[in-house]
Amino acid sequence: MDTNVNNWSDDNIFQAWNGSRRLDEKGREIGYIVGMNDSLDGKCFAAWVQKGRRDVKTGEFSEFGPRQRAKYFDTKQAAKTWAYATCRERLSAVS
């Protein structure tokens, strides 16, 4: 598995918001961002789950707290399965 930084591009990043329906003290929704990226050669797949906040008026979301490290997988499906399972687990602790 090639995790060399030169084999990755920001153009391949996918991020999806997963909200808890709970608001913080500033009125933003608490949730998590599931992120994924494919290596340029298509042989390695990265996934991460990042704390986030979503502005309920604009719908825009942003990272919150320290950046999370990516985990690397041999298949896109393994990356997706891990990311969404981890997100569900973390959301259940918020709700």
| Element of type H or E holding 34 | strand 29-38
Biggest CA-to-CA distance, the chain: 44
Q: What is the mean pLDDT of the chain?
A: 92
Domain boundaries, position 44: 5-94
CA distance 77 to 27: 35
- Look at residue 1 and tell me whether its pLDDT is greater than 90: no
pLDDT, one tens digit per residue, over 17-50 is 999 999 999 999 999 999 999 998 988 999 999 9
pTM of the model: 0.86
Please provide the DSSP assignment of 39-64 as one string.
-TTSS-EEEEEEEEEE-TTT--EEE-
**Is residue 82 packed enough to be buried (19+ CB in 10 Å), middle (13-18) or exposed (0-12)?**
middle
Q: How many domains does the chain have?
A: 1
What's the sign of the alpha-carbon dihedral 86, 13, 69, 94? negative
